[in-house]
Amino acid sequence: MKMKNILKYKNIWILCLMVALFGCQDAIDINQDGFLGPDNAYNTVDDLQSGLNGVYARYLPDTGGNGTGGEIYHNSVFTDEIKSGIASAGQGSQLYDFIIDNTNTGGASFLIWQDNYRMIARANRVIEAFNVVTISSTDMERANHIRGQLLGLRALGHLKLLEYFAPSYDDPNGLGVINLDFVNNVNDQLPRNTFGETADLIRSDLETAQNLLDPSQTSNIFINVDVVKALRTRLALIEGDYSTALNLSSQLVSDYPLANQTQYLNMYQDTDNTEVIFKLSRVSGDNDVALLYFFNFIGPSDGYLEVSNQLFNELSEPTGDIRLNAVVSGAFSTINGVDDPTNVLVLNKYPGSADGQATNDIKVFRSSEMWLIKAEAEARMGNLTEAANSIKTLRDARFGSATATPNYGTLNQALTDILLERKKELCFEGHRYLDLKRLGSELGIGINRNPIDCASFQANCTLPSTDPRFTLPIPQAELDANSNIQVNPSN
């Protein structure tokens, strides 16, 4: 072969080799079309808003259905709000019998822990994305408002976790929950912080949020300055900071009047917002809250869980309480007599809305709760008269006429009455279990069901206020994957 040819061929080989070498990088750095990672997902303030939409979407106190459920379901079934319904196939019988199974991925231990941490984890990822998004000065106000909402939601998540999983609210050095204010490594196994540390994180998030939020944004289906205020009120209450609780609740009750009787019923149809400080918007396609109690929708024979006779009796006496109509459906219920085992007491708090026959917004903070907190703070600060007046204000609105001022001789009397009033006012909205945990343990009031109600499940009727089951156990899935997590005391 001639030298010239060899040289010519050599060039071809070199060319081939170079093509191969330079072509190589695109075989190593491959990104799939449409694949977004943390580095390229967030580019604009709109992207941050989009992230925020996903954080809200993960706050799910109403999750569950057909015998499983998180916060609202647990508060109803574990306590004295419900009895077995006409359509029951045994839904809720275990939980009603005070069995809290921390391995059950459809139970409160797992769901409240997981859902709130997932919301927090989502919030942290969006908060972190603020570091990579360039925000123009014109966008700054909007970006701040987004960040404020993210911090508010992170505080809400931590507060929920603290309420359910902290064994005691009284000891700042006792067990809190894992403070998650950063994007963790997926392999992290984090221990719990103390109650005080978690409370401090919530407080600091809320304070920062308060400063970032745009006061002109007042929609009650999003975190706004008033929602942050309500969160601070609730935190102050469980921490025992009653002066703050009183101060903040007083501000809120003056800004949010109580609903009259018509408005009150309309509120549960999602057509009135007079006393709603914060509610979760639920639209077609979201979890249907009524399906925690019904197979399909409110109806005379569709409920597998019904209002307990005990609660029905409490709301019936004295007469005229609009809350009876709000809780028990007059149209669908069958009442055969006081404590008659054949009573069909159809729940009316989730009657459906324009968004769906089983769909209702989830009320998180209402003015009435602030009145109850105000009353409790007043009582605890020694002002039993003002406490009685606060309760009267609430009752006047619910009865639609002036009611007698309650007479509180002692703090204990006041708190006992407030606990009952909370049950009547806030039942089926995810409060009863926490109220018994916080107030019941102090007052020595446990669960004491009407025998007709517990007979409907052939379950135990009573649970003493000292029972450790008023604190949720850490879910087994967390214990399995996290060797550093501390368990809660159990019996």
Residue span binding other proteins (CB under 8 A) among the ranges 255-263, 269-277, 422-430, 471-479: 471-479
C-alpha to C-alpha distance for 444 and 374, rounded to whole angstroms: 22
Q: Is 258 in the site for other proteins (CB under 8 A)?
A: no
| Out of 8, 17, 132, 460, the residue judged to bind other proteins by CB under 8 A | 17
Residue span binding other proteins (CB under 8 A) among the ranges 3-11, 63-71, 429-437, 452-460: 3-11
In the complex, least distance from residue 241 CB atom to other proteins, rounded to whole angstroms: 27
Q: Is 132 in the site for other proteins (CB under 8 A)?
A: no
Containing 470, the helix (H) or strand (E) segment is none
Containing 306, the helix (H) or strand (E) segment is strand 305-307
In the complex, least distance from residue 418 CB atom to other proteins, rounded to whole angstroms: 33
Containing 451, the helix (H) or strand (E) segment is helix 451-455
In the bound state with other proteins, the residue whose beta carbon lies nearer, of 56 and 294, is 56
- Closest by Cα among 101, 59, 94 to 77: 94
Subset of 169-208 contacting other proteins (CB under 8 A): 178, 180, 184, 186-190
In the complex, least distance from residue 491 CB atom to other proteins, rounded to whole angstroms: 24
Residue span binding other proteins (CB under 8 A) among the ranges 275-283, 300-308, 385-393, 399-407: 275-283
CA distances (Å), origin 12, targets 1, 25, 452: 16, 21, 93
- Residue 119 and residue 153 in contact, taking contact as beta carbons nearer than 8 Å: yes
- Residue 428 and residue 347 in contact, taking contact as beta carbons nearer than 8 Å: yes
Number of shown-chain residues binding other proteins (CB under 8 A): 66
Q: Is 122 in the site for other proteins (CB under 8 A)?
A: yes
In the bound state with other proteins, the residue whose beta carbon lies nearer, of 405 and 476, is 476
Q: Is 121 in the site for other proteins (CB under 8 A)?
A: yes
Q: Is 38 in the site for other proteins (CB under 8 A)?
A: yes
Q: What sign for the dihedral angle of Cα 363, 368, 370, 372?
A: negative
- Closest by Cα among 294, 283, 308, 249 to 361: 283
What stretches of 130-221 show up as alpha helix (H) in DSSP?
A: 140-165, 195-212
Q: Is 44 in the site for other proteins (CB under 8 A)?
A: no
C-alpha to C-alpha distance for 56 and 286, rounded to whole angstroms: 12
The neighbouring-strand residues paired with 334 are 344
The neighbouring-strand residues paired with 447 are 463
DSSP 326-337: HHB-TTT-B--S
CA distances (Å), origin 60, targets 72, 280, 288, 347, 421: 9, 9, 11, 21, 26
In the complex, least distance from residue 30 CB atom to other proteins, rounded to whole angstroms: 4
Q: Is 281 in the site for other proteins (CB under 8 A)?
A: yes
Interface mask toward other proteins for 411-450; x: CB under 8 A: ----------------------------------------
**Cβ neighbours for 20, distance < 8 A, ≥ 6 positions apart:** none
In the bound state with other proteins, the residue whose beta carbon lies nearer, of 62 and 453, is 62
Q: Is 7 in the site for other proteins (CB under 8 A)?
A: no
- Residue 453 and residue 308 in contact, taking contact as beta carbons nearer than 8 Å: yes
Q: 386 exposed, middle or buried (CB, 10 Å; 0-12, 13-18, 19+)?
A: middle
Q: Is 117 in the site for other proteins (CB under 8 A)?
A: yes
- Residue 418 and residue 387 in contact, taking contact as beta carbons nearer than 8 Å: yes
| Out of 8, 11, 24, 460, the residue judged to bind other proteins by CB under 8 A | 24
CA distances (Å), origin 358, targets 296, 329, 363, 445: 7, 14, 15, 34
Length of the chain: 491
In the complex, least distance from residue 405 CB atom to other proteins, rounded to whole angstroms: 41
Q: 356 exposed, middle or buried (CB, 10 Å; 0-12, 13-18, 19+)?
A: middle
Residue span binding other proteins (CB under 8 A) among the ranges 6-14, 263-271, 326-334, 447-455: 6-14
In the complex, least distance from residue 13 CB atom to other proteins, rounded to whole angstroms: 5
In the bound state with other proteins, the residue whose beta carbon lies nearer, of 217 and 325, is 217
Q: Is 27 in the site for other proteins (CB under 8 A)?
A: yes
Subset of 82-111 contacting other proteins (CB under 8 A): 110
Q: Is 53 in the site for other proteins (CB under 8 A)?
A: yes
The count of other CB atoms within 10 Å of the CB of residue 204 is 13
In the bound state with other proteins, the residue whose beta carbon lies nearer, of 7 and 404, is 7
Q: Is 135 in the site for other proteins (CB under 8 A)?
A: no
Residue span binding other proteins (CB under 8 A) among the ranges 114-122, 268-276, 328-336, 344-352: 114-122
In the bound state with other proteins, the residue whose beta carbon lies nearer, of 467 and 478, is 478
- Closest by Cα among 341, 303, 363 to 455: 341
C-alpha to C-alpha distance for 99 and 205, rounded to whole angstroms: 35
Q: Is 23 in the site for other proteins (CB under 8 A)?
A: yes
Residue span binding other proteins (CB under 8 A) among the ranges 13-21, 193-201, 290-298, 443-451: 13-21
Judged by the rule CB under 8 A, the positions of this chain that interact with other proteins are: 1, 6, 9-10, 13, 16-17, 20-21, 23-30, 32-38, 41-42, 47, 50-58, 110, 113-114, 117-118, 120-122, 125-126, 178, 180, 184, 186-190, 221, 280-281, 283, 285, 475, 477-478, 480-482, 485
